[in-house]
Structure 1
Amino acid sequence: MNVKVFILALSTVAVGLVELIIGGILPTIADDLNISLSSAGQLITIFALIYAVSGPVLLVLTSKMERKKLYLLSLSVFFIGNIMTYFSPNFTFMMIARVITAMSTALIVVLSLTIAAKVVSPAHRAKALGLIYMGISSSLVMGVPLGILISDKFGWRIIFLGIAILSIGSFVLISIFLERLSGENTVPLSQQLKAVSSLKIGSAHLATMFMLAGHYTLYAYFTPFLETELQLNSSWISICYLLFGIAAVSGGAFGGALSDSMGAQKSIIVVIFSFAVVLFLLPFTTFSLIVFIPIMMIWAALSWSLAPPQQSYLIQTDPATSDIQQSFNNSALQVGISIGSGFGGIVLSQTGTVAHTSWFGGVLIIVSLGCAVFSLTRKTTARENNRATIALQNQMND
C-alpha cells in the first residue's frame, strides 16, 4: 500500500480522537470546569453538529484550493483548537475550541478520503479508503480507554496537548511525503440538496440520524452510567470502553456480512429493531457485570452494523448520486450524535438518573425504525430510475 495512504490514516487517528475521547472523561471535565454533567455533554453535541454542517460547506468553499496546502492549513487550525482546549479556563472558551476543532476535523477527514483515492491506482482504491476508515475506527478502540487512564493519572487536559503534538507529526509527514494536488470542481450545495429531496432517500437519512441519536442518548453519558449503575472504578471503565470499541468495529463487518446474506433492506430492519430491544434491556442487566458485558458488546456491535446495509441501500436506490448520499449520510450520523448527546443531557437533568437515558434512547430508535420502514416501502421515483439507468450505462461503457 502507498505510504501516503498510511500517513493520511495516521492523521485520521489523531482527529478521530478529538471527537470520541471526550465521552469517557466527561465527569472529570465537568468537575474541573465546575459545570453540570448535562452541560459537559453539550461539548459532544456542538462538535457533532458543527462537524455535520461544516463538512459539505467547507468542501465546496475550498474546492479550488490546492489540496496539500489546504490539508496543512486544516492541521494548523486543528492544532490551535487543541491548544485552546488544553488551556481552557472555562466552559465557554472550551466550547469555542470545540467549534474550531470540529470544523478542521471535518475537512481533514474528507480530504484524507479524497486524497487517498487519488494517490493510488483504481485497483487499490477500496483498500486505501478502508485504511482511512480503519484509522477513524481505531481511535474509538484505543482512544477512549487510553484517554480515561491518562486522565486518571495526569488530568484530562494533557490528552488534548498530546493530540496537538500528534497533529504536528502529521503536519511534518504530510509536508514531506504528499505532493501538490490541484483543487477540483465540487457539486454545488443546491445540487447536493436536490439529491436527497425525495421521500425515499430523505427518510433513509433520517433513519441513520435517529439511530445515532438513540445511541448517543446513552453513549454520551456512558461513563457516569458505569459509575452509578455498576459502581465501577476508572480501570474497569477503561476495560468496558475497550471491549465496547472492539465490538463496535467488528459490528461493521457483521453488518456487511448480514447485508450480503439477507439483503440490505431486511438487514436495516433487523439491525434497528435489535438495537431498540438491547437499549430497553440494558438497564436491567446492571445487577451483574457478567450479564452486563455481553449485552453491552451486542449494543456496541449493533451501533456500527447499520452503516454497510444502509450504504448499499442508498447506492442501489440512486447510484448516480452515491457519493453525495454517502456525504449526507455521514452528516446525518453527526447530526444524530449531536441530537442524542443533547437529548441525553436533558433527560439526565430532568430525571436525575442516568439509566433513564437508555430507555429514552430506545424511543428514538423506534422513530428510526419508522423512518426506515417508510423509506423501504416508498417506490423509487422516475428521476432515481433514470439516474440508475445512466449510472449502469456509464459502468458498461467503462
Structure 2
Amino acid sequence: MAANLRALAARCTFAVVDKGRSLSDELPQQIAKIDIKDKGLLQELCYGVLRHLPELEYDVRDFIKKPFTGKQRVGHFLLLVGIYQIKYTRIPDHAAFNETVSACKPLKCDHLKGVINGVLRNFQRQQSQLIKDETQADISKLPAAVAFNHPSWFIKKLQGAYPESWQDILNANMHRPPMWIRVNALHHSLDEYLSLLAEAKIEHSLIDEKSSAIRLTEAVDVNKLPGFALGWASVQDGAAQQAAYLLDCQPGDNVLDCCAAPGGKTCHILEHSPKINAMTAIDIEAARLERVQENLQRLNLQAKVIAGDALTPETWWDGQLYDRILLDAPCSATGVIRRHPDIKWLRKNEDITVLTELQQDIMKNIWSLLKPGGTLLYATCSVLPEENSEQVQRFLHDNSDAEHIAITDNTNDIGWQILPNDNSMDGFYYAKIIKKS
C-alpha cells in the first residue's frame, strides 16, 4: 500500500517543531518511503508548513475548540498540512480534503477524521474572507510572529540591527532560493562552461563576475548540468562561493578549512588555488565528513580530512603552522532560513549567547595555528551582528597581533555582511584578519 504523503508531511513537521529534529535529518527518512515522483510534493508540503507555521496556526484557531495534545498532537500538524494545500497549492480542494482525512488512519488518529474534515471544509468556505481580512489587517494588530511568519525574538533582533531593512530580510526568507553553481576551473574556463549551459538550453545569469558565480533562472536536476558527474561544476550558493576568493591562497600555502563539512568550500579552494602545498579539512562530526569525501572524490581532489574538534587542536594538529585558515564557524544559520525554514523553529534566543562564546573560543584556539603574516577568514551564515561584526571586534580587541583587512569599499565596515537576497544570495558574513608578523 502506498504511503500517504500528508501523513508523512505531518510526521515530519511534528518531528521538527515539537521534537526539535532537523528537517535535513527527518525529511530523507520520509522520502525513502515513497515513489521518487512524489518527492517534490512531500518537500513542498513540509517546507510550506514550516515557512508559514504561525500564519497557518492562526488560520485554524477559531475552527477548533481546544488544541490537539498528547497522542493527538500529530493531528494538529496534519491539519496545518491540509490548510497549506488549500491556501498555497494548486491541488484541487476535494483531493486535499480526501487525502488529508485519509491520513488519519496511518497516523492512528481515526477519531479526528470528523474534526479535521470539518475544519478544512469550514476554512475552504470562508477562505476568501479570511485571506482578505489578513491582507487588509493593520499589521500592527497581528502578533508579530503571525504577521511575518518568524519567531518574535528573531524579529526584534532584526529590528534592532537593521532598522531600515528588517522587513526585507523577513520577506526574503519566505521565498524559495535560486539554484547557484560554480565552474571547476580545473576543467573549464567560465566562458567555456557558459557556452555549455547555453547548448544545454539551461538559462542562467552571471551575477558576480569576480567570483564567477552562476545563478540558474530555474532549478534543474544536477544530472542535467553539463559534466556534473565528471566534476565540471558544483552546486553552491553565490555567497558561499566568495570564500575561496577572499581567502586568496598562494602557491605553496598550507591551508586549513575548519568546520569544513559538507566540503563545498574545501573543494572550491582546491579548484581555485591548485598550487597550494596542502589542504586539511576538519569537522567535529565524523558522519558529516563522509560528504566531504564524496565531494572530493567526485571532483578528483585531494585533502587531508580529519574528524577533530576545533576547540582542542592539540588532539589532531600535526604541528605545522598554516598560511591560510578558513573558519566557517558554527552559527545560528539565520542567513539561510529561506533554504532551511526549520531553523526558525529550531533556533532559540538563548542559543545565540552560547554560540557567540563557542565562536570566540574556536577563534582563539585556531588563531594559535596561524603563521605570522597569515590570513584567517572568519565566516558565518548568520545575519546577527553578535555572531559577526561584534564578534570580530571583540577578537581584535583581545588580540593585539590581529589586524582587520577591509573587504568592502567602505573601509569602516568590520567585515562584509551579505543579507538574504543581496544579489539573490544567501545571508552570509566574512571578515579577513591578518596575524601581524
Structure 1 and Structure 2 fold alike (TM over 0.5): no
For normalisation by structure 2, the TM-score amounts to: 0.27
Query: If each structure's helix is expressed as a fraction of its own residues, which one has the higher value?
Result: 1
More RCO (CA 8 Å, sep 6+): 1
Q: Which has the higher Rg, Structure 1 or Structure 2?
A: 2
Query: If each structure's strand is expressed as a fraction of its own residues, which one has the higher value?
Result: 2
